[in-house]
Amino acid sequence: RTAPSDPPASVKEVMFITSITSAAEMKKPASKRTSRNQTFALNLDEPWDTMKAQMLVKISDALNPGLLSYEDYEISWFIPRVLPKPGLSLLNEKDFDVLVKRAANLKGNDPTINVTIIQKENHELKENEAVIELTVNEKAKKREAAAILPGNQNKIVNIQSLCEHWICKKSDAACPSTHCYVDSSTDEHLPLNAERFDCWASAMLKDDGTATLEKPPHHKLFDVRKISPVLQRRKDSQNTQVPSPSAPVFNFTIGNEVLDIFRPQLPAVAAAPAVSSTSHSSDSACTTLLHPSRAQGRDIPLDKFCTEYDLGNNILTKFTENAYKGARFLRFVTIAELKEMGFQLGEIAALRDAIERWSVPRV
C-alpha cells in the first residue's frame, strides 16, 4: 500500500506509430506502395474520442482528403513480438478498450503500439480520381500539341494543299501516279511521291516566292528532263508521229470525159478476197503488241494473264519492274519498248502470240 505522503502513481503513456496508406497506393503492387508514417503519444486514461481525434489529425496531415470521416478508413493495431500482424481492429470504443487492457500489461520504459490505417475506395475518391485522370489526359494532349513545332505544322498544311491541288487527271493507263506536277510549258507529267511532296512543302516555308503552290522549287527532284528510258522512248515516238508541214497542194477538177481519153480499157478483174483480222493481228511489221485491227480483251491482273497464257515468271517480273499492273495496259506497249525493258526475241514472240489470243476483232 502506498504511503499517504507518497505522490500518486503516474498514468501509463503509450507511443503510437501510424502507417497511413491511400486508396490510390493500395492499387499498386505491394512492393511499390508508399505509406505516410505519423506518431503521437497518448495516456491510457484518455477516452475513445480523444484517440479517434488524434488519428483523424494524422490522416488529415498525411492524405488531406476532401471529406474527413473515420468510417472511410480500415484501422487495425498490433504490437511487435506480442500481437503480430494483422493484429486487431480499431473501429469503435469496444476495440479501444481491448487495446487499453493489452497496453497496460506492456513492460518497458517506452511502450509502443503500431496502428495501420488504409483508406477505403469510396464514391468521393472515385470522383477525385476521375478528375485527376481527366487533368492528366488534358496535359498529355497539350504536350503532344506542343511537340508539333509551328514549322512542322505549316509544313503539314503545305503538303495537304499540294495533294489537293496536284491530282492527276489522266487515266491509270496513261499515268500510273495519283498526283502529278504538270509542266505548263511542255505538258509533261512528273509523278509526285512522298520525297517530292516533302521537298516542295519545305521550300514553301521560306515564303520568298521561289516555291509556291503553282511552282515547285529549283531542285533536282523536279527536273522533268530526268525521266525513265521507257517514258523517254514513248515521248520520242509520239514526237515522230506528228506530221511535218508539207508543201502547198493545188487541186484541179477534171471531168470524166477527159480522163477516159487516157484511161485504157482493161478486162474486169474479180475483187480480191478480204483479209481476215487475224492475218493483220500477226503482221510482223506492226510496231505495237496489239494490232490496230484488234481490240483489248478482258481486263485481268498481269500475274493472272501471264499464268493463263503460259508466259512465265521472267516476263511478269520485267513488267512489274516497270510498274505495269493490268492486262489493259499492254495495248499501249510497243515492240521497241519491250526491247528497251530487256525482253528477249523469244519472249516478244510469246507475248505477241498471247496478245493475239487475248484480244478480240474490232467491230
Residue pLDDT, tens place only, 243-287: 555 566 666 666 666 556 666 565 544 444 444 444 444 566 788
Of the candidates 76, 97, 73, the residue with the CA atom closest to the CA atom of residue 88: 76
Stated as kind and residue range, the H or E segment containing 360 is: strand 360-361
Asked if 16 and 64 touch (Cβ cutoff 8 Å), the reply is no
Single pTM value for the model: 0.35
Handedness of CA 339, 342, 347, 352 (dihedral sign): negative
Q: What is the pLDDT of residues 198-243, one digit of tens each?
A: 999 999 988 888 899 988 998 888 876 655 555 566 656 656 655 5
Task: Inform me whether the pLDDT recorded for 8 exceeds 60.
Answer: no
Burial of residue 48, with CB atoms counted within 10 A of its CB: 0-12 exposed, 13-18 middle, 19 or more buried: middle
304: amino acid identity, one letter: K
Task: Inform me whether the pLDDT recorded for 143 exceeds 70.
Answer: no
The pLDDT mean for the chain works out to 80
Q: What is the pLDDT of residues 317-351, one digit of tens each?
A: 988 888 888 888 888 889 899 899 999 999 888 98
Q: Provide φ and ψ at 105, rounded to 5°.
A: -90, 0
Asked if 241 and 336 touch (Cβ cutoff 8 Å), the reply is no
19: amino acid identity, one letter: S
Report percent pLDDT > 70 for the chain. 72
Task: Inform me whether the pLDDT recorded for 58 exceeds 70.
Answer: yes
Q: Where are the alpha helices (DSSP H) in the chain?
A: 23-26, 48-63, 93-104, 123-147, 150-165, 194-204, 229-240, 256-262, 277-281, 302-308, 313-321, 335-340, 345-358
Residue 259 has what pLDDT?
Answer: 59
DSSP annotation of 331 reads: G
